[in-house]
Amino acid sequence: GIQVEQSPPDLILQEGANSTLRCNFSDSVNNLQWFHQNPWGQLINLFYIPSGTKQNGRLSATTVATERYSLLYISSSQTTDSGVYFCAVDNTGFQKLVFGTGTRLLVSP
């Protein structure tokens, strides 16, 4: 099946810093989503982005489908950005998402 790798596995930032999270996948995809899991376990959908670029406030994402990677940019990070960021892909057309192991982000004040 399709493989999803995320990097870096852990990231520590000072409040106000910018960061880039990467997701590589091993096959072409129908769907790619970025999620944020907060410390209480809630999984929040950030972007639905099988290709192209999207922006939502301080967050933006770019997926280059032909090169099989996606990037999540976080600008002017805040302590509330802490948590785990997951990339998930589907290559079946049935929304059977395969998750990476995540990037654990800690933003310190």
Alpha-carbon distance of 28 to 77, in angstroms, equals: 31
- Contact pattern for other proteins over residues 22 through 61, marking x by CB under 8 A: --------xx-x-x----xxxxxx--x-------------
Our CB check for other proteins shows the closer of 55 and 101 to be 101
Alpha-carbon distance of 46 to 8, in angstroms, equals: 18
- Contacts of residue 12, Cβ cutoff 8 Å, sequence gap at least 6: 105, 106, 108
Our CB check for other proteins shows the closer of 7 and 76 to be 7
Query: Any contact of residue 102 with other proteins (CB under 8 A)?
Result: yes
| DSSP H or E segment with residue 108 | strand 103-108
Given its phi and psi angles, is residue 20 left (phi above 0), alpha (psi -120 to 50 degrees) or beta? beta
- Contact pattern for other proteins over residues 69 through 98, marking x by CB under 8 A: -----------------x-x----xxxxxx
Residues that bind other proteins (CB under 8 A): 1, 4, 30-31, 33, 35, 40-45, 48, 86, 88, 93-102
